[in-house]
Amino acid sequence: MTNEASPAVNIQTREGQEQLKKMGVKPIPAPDDLTRPYWDAAKRHELRIQRCTACSEYQHPPQATCEQCGGATLEWAPISGRGVIYTYIIDRRMMTPGFNEPYVVAQINPVEAPRTTVRITANIRGCELEDVYIDMPVEVFFEDVNAEVTLPQFRPTAEAKLQSRGEVRPGPAM
């Protein structure tokens, strides 16, 4: 990630973080050769992750070779954007520039990828912080940050049980 900020701001220090917060600067992705197809697809409001053409396994985050078989031929396959929350945090410290209220960052297991090592990291939006839970069903939506950057974000599906709606969410599996 990179920041749209003055080079005089040292984002590695608490003072720099506070200065960026005051400026309202948020971190944005800085695609490289490996991740550019993911971000280009997001700009088109498509969610794509790598799939090995040799063993057909999905993987994310992107890598140069298949983590399952070592194959070097990977394609960027479209996926539905539906998944479940594998894990999450609620950041209440607000140390990240541009975030002025608590927010949720989660790792999502796409429904197309049965291995739990395939995870998309994104924000969870569209519900109260306390509504988020492990195995919560979610779906992607896209936030156009500017002309160059679109972020895949996730929100609860209609099947999700939200405490803020008075629903009882499922307990841990035994």
Q: Which residues in the chain belong to E strands, given as ranges?
A: 2-3, 27-28, 48-52, 58-59, 74-78, 82-91, 103-110, 120-124, 137-144, 150-156
Specify the pLDDT at position 107: 96
Specify the pLDDT at position 15: 77
Most confident of 8-22, 50-64, 108-122: 50-64
Structure tokens at 132: 């988020």
- Residue 140, φ and ψ in degrees, nearest 5: -80, 150
Q: Is 159 within 8 Å of 145 (Cβ atoms)?
A: no
Specify the pLDDT at position 173: 52
Single pTM value for the model = 0.83
Whether the predicted pLDDT of 5 surpasses 70: no
Q: Mind listing the pLDDT tens digit for each residue in 114-142?
A: 877 899 999 999 999 999 999 999 999 99
Specify the pLDDT at position 70: 95
Q: Mind listing the pLDDT tens digit for each residue in 28-60?
A: 888 999 999 999 999 999 999 999 999 999 999
Interval 16-31 mean pLDDT: 74
Where do the structural domains in the chain lie, given as residue ranges? Answer: 31-165
